Amino acid sequence: MMLFTDDSGTPPELEPAYGAIDRYRKRLEPLKQEGSPDCGFYTQCDIQARSCRLALEELEWSVAASERFRSGVTEKVAERMPPDEWHQYRLHVYFYKNAFIRVFSILDKLGSLLNRLFELRTERVKHRYSYYTVLRQMQHIHAVPELTRKLAAIKEAYGPPMSRLRKKRNVEVHLINSELEDDMYAADHCSGGRTLIEDLEEASVDLLAGQRMVAETIAAVFGDLEARLMRSAHPAAPGNRKRATNPGDRYRIRHDDPHGWERAHTYARRRQS
């Protein structure tokens, strides 16, 4: 699906993410059939996966629109822009902000999914948690080690651009429109009434990096979940999750999780020390 008729289609870096979601959802199909055990639970898993796919599409469209309208902006001072260029700039800003907000919205959806499936209990650490809180919780309790290492590596690889996008998101949501942040700085230096627009090319580089980070994270999460379905190691419905007999095991996920007892013993040793 394309936003503009002259687009070349889905960016190649997003295809693994779409593919991972689609394969996971396909493997859920027989588990969702009426009368099958825990069909409601697996239907909820499918709905959350579909939500992530729809959100990724919306991010893709927002980034594409942002880039399209950015190409029509050449002037660096807002007051010098002719009406048509000003309109292009305002449309660019709208879609750019929509895109970076969606970057973190998708990550938080993934965090909610991971917290639910693997019983991470992140809400006990922070009531209103983000994806980054969930990832820290996974590292802290040694949950799903292989997936945790992949997600941590992706986070580190995109650290600087994601930090800048996160700051813009916080400014946009909690303070002022993010495109006016530079104007606040200029006001302290009495710039004479000129409104210098932000560096659009630099901002674009960060946004595209954020889109890649989200895509790689999605591919890692749903690739892991698909692999668990293939080997019958997917987290079960809450009522069917077998708990370990060790009283120190607060983070037991499933009876056939190869890392569950390791976490149980680690936690028990910490309690005894």
For residues 260 and 204, membership in a common domain is answered with no
Compute the average pLDDT of residues 197-214: 96
**Residue 1 in domain:** no
Work out the pLDDT band at 184, boundaries 50, 70, 90: very low
- Check pLDDT > 70 for residue 196: yes
Does residue 264 register a pLDDT over 80? no
User: At 91, which amino acid appears?
Assistant: L
pLDDT in tens, 130-173: 999 999 999 999 999 999 999 999 999 999 999 999 999 998 88
Angle (deg, nearest 10), helices 159-174 and 200-230: 110
Structure tokens at 44: 């909820």
Tell me, yes or no, whether 46 and 147 share the same domain. Answer: yes
| Burial (CB count <10 Å: 0-12, 13-18, 19+), residue 22 | middle
16 and 140: one domain?
yes
Distance separating alpha carbons of residues 151 and 134, to the nearest angstrom: 11
Q: Are residues 214 and 257 in the same domain?
A: no
Q: Are residues 233 and 261 in the same domain?
A: no
Whether residue 144 lies inside any domain: the answer is yes
Residues 106 and 87 reside in one and the same domain: yes
For residues 260 and 189, membership in a common domain is answered with no
pLDDT tier for residue 37 given thresholds of 50, 70 and 90: confident
Contacts of 131 (CB under 8 A, 6+ apart): 104, 107, 108, 110, 111
Q: Which sign does the torsion angle of CA 200, 204, 210, 214 carry?
A: positive
Residues 105-118, mean pLDDT to the nearest whole number: 97
129 & 219 share domain:
yes
What is the tally of structural domains in the chain? 2
Are 169 and 209 within one domain? yes
Tell which residue, 142, 132, 139, has the closest CA to residue 252: 142
Mean pLDDT across the chain, nearest whole number?
Answer: 84
CA neighbor of 110 nearest in space, from 217, 227, 25: 217
For residues 18 and 146, state if they share a domain: yes
Nearest to 234 by CA among 152, 144, 135: 144
pLDDT band at 192 (very low <50, low <70, confident <90, very high): low
Domain containing 252 equals 248-273
> What distance in Å separates the CA atoms of residue 149 and residue 152, rounded to the nearest whole number?
5
State whether 264 and 131 are in the same domain. no
Q: Is residue 104 part of a domain?
A: yes
Whether 267 and 155 share a structural domain: no
Tokens 């997936």 sit on residue: 147
Residue of higher predicted confidence among 271 and 161: 161
> Does the residue 5 lie in any domain?
no
